[in-house]
Amino acid sequence: MSSAGKKPLMQGYLFCCVAAILVLLSASTHAVTFSTKQDIRMLIDQKMRIDGIPGVSFAVVQHGQLAWADAIGLANVEHATEAHVGTVYRSASIVKPLTATAILQLHQANKLDLDAPVWQYCAEFPEKPEVVTVRQLLTHTGGVRSYAMPWSRYEAELYSAKRYESVTEALSIFAGDLLLHEPGSTYKYTSYGYNVLGCIIESITGTTYENHLEQYILKPSTMTSTLAERTEDIVRDRAGLYKRNSKGRLVNEKTVDLTNKIPSGGMLTTATDLARFAASYMSGSLLSDELMGQAIKPVTLSDGSLSYYGMGWDTNSVKPENRAREMYHVGVTPGVTGVLYLYPDAKGAVIIFANLYNVGGLEKLAQSIGATVGFDSTDATTNAQLQNAGGTH
């Protein structure tokens, strides 16, 4: 072959080599180092030992991509089944950010006014003496009650075994009750308020909450293992459900039917699926930057004070100077505790699921993992400044 013929071949070979190197370099920027992985596993293992957690699955998003996922311990104690990255857990309240995102998408599409009365969109939630707005439901300031008190009634609703055939049917639990306070005046966390948001989604879209979530949140985020829980369904890799009894012994949880709160805490998911949601959310593909900014900002109450909660996101455990720059949502329901913690400036996230009821401090653990990875707000600001200046980090 002539030298003229060899030259294009050599150029093509060099191009392929350079391209391969760039791909490897790009991949390395989204990887969590071996030493960091060891540190994270040590943090999680320590928490598991302290709280007696059977199994944990977790994931880390870095630079807007799923960087690492792993698991420790047992997903099912009786069958000695190890937890893994695909272990399916109850979402608990971590579904609330997804529900809030679906509502904000409808607002973005000019199909919903956040400051309109709730009953304008959900007839099954009857009009009250005081106006309750969609925004107030999103921020837990509408006065809708949560599980009833005293404890005997609370436990009966938390551990409800009754099957509800639809989101709107489940509103019958509380829709006729009086509001707890003047809307907008106080923050009172309520899962039932998010059930009303599910009703609003169904009323506006003409489809079920589950179908709408699938089309506008799950599929765009490539979430393939998230679905509503129904106890009779066969779900592969589902985690066992455990609690500690009054003597500290590990026991199986009671049987509950979560159809009383699908939009607020009745889904199944995985740590990796929520990592994909976090990445999609922070990329701006689900909401505009303006609406994301509103969602993560703690709401101002009628007396001028700040709540810790935005629209689907909590900041209670975030340092005051970092609120609206870090946010999270904890989920606690029979048999599971989880957390989804976001660092939007760094395009980072930490997701943790434990198959044990009422584990305290998972948001603190997520913060420790975030610091270990390097999701410090100061570092994130420096990174953003470098990117805006045309540099890399």
d(CA 288, CA 298): 18
Give the pLDDT confidence score for residue 11 in this predicted structure: 52
Answer for the pair 228, 341: CB distance below 8 angstroms, yes or no: no
Q: In which band, very low, low, confident or very high, does the pLDDT at 389 lie, cut at 50, 70 and 90?
A: very low
Q: pLDDT (tens digit, 9 = 90+) per residue, 251-288?
A: 999 999 999 999 999 999 999 999 999 999 999 999 99
Q: What is the DSSP letter of 326?
A: B
Does position 167 have pLDDT exceeding 90, yes or no? yes
Give the pLDDT confidence score for residue 149 in this predicted structure: 73
Q: Which one has a higher pLDDT value, 72 or 382?
A: 72
Q: pLDDT (tens digit, 9 = 90+) per residue, 19-61?
A: 443 333 344 445 799 999 999 999 999 999 999 999 999 999 9
Give the pLDDT confidence score for residue 320 in this predicted structure: 83
> Mean pLDDT over residues 60-81, rounded?
97
Give the HSE-up count for residue 125: Cα atoms under 13 Å, Cβ half-sphere.
31
Domain 34-388 has CATH 3.40.50.720: no
Give the pLDDT confidence score for residue 126 in this predicted structure: 95
Give the pLDDT confidence score for residue 319 in this predicted structure: 86
Give the pLDDT confidence score for residue 387 in this predicted structure: 34
Q: Which one has a higher pLDDT value, 204 or 14?
A: 204
Give the pLDDT confidence score for residue 2 in this predicted structure: 52
d(CA 8, CA 169): 69
- AA identity, residue 19: A
Give the pLDDT confidence score for residue 165 in this predicted structure: 97
> Mean pLDDT over residues 317-340, rounded?
92
- Spell out the domain ranges in the chain: 34-388
Q: Tell me whether strands 81-82 and 89-90 are parallel, antiparallel or unpaired.
A: unpaired
Give φ, ψ of 337 to 5 degrees: -140, 140
pTM: 0.88
Lowest-pLDDT choice from 76-85, 187-196, 210-219, 382-391: 382-391
Average pLDDT, the chain: 90
Does position 200 have pLDDT exceeding 70, yes or no? yes
d(CA 116, CA 348): 34
Give the pLDDT confidence score for residue 377 in this predicted structure: 53
Answer for the pair 288, 110: CB distance below 8 angstroms, yes or no: no
Q: Which residues pair with 133 in a beta bridge?
A: 117
Give the pLDDT confidence score for residue 379 in this predicted structure: 44
Give the pLDDT confidence score for residue 304 in this predicted structure: 96
**Residue closest to 119 by CA, chosen among 213, 203, 192, 210:** 203
Give the pLDDT confidence score for residue 18 in this predicted structure: 42
Collapsing DSSP to helix, strand or coil, 343 comes out as strand
Tokens, residue 20: 């391969």
Q: pLDDT (tens digit, 9 = 90+) per residue, 216-239?
A: 999 999 999 999 999 999 999 999
**For residue 377, with 0-12 CB atoms within 10 Å meaning exposed, 13-18 middle and 19 or more buried, which class applies?**
middle
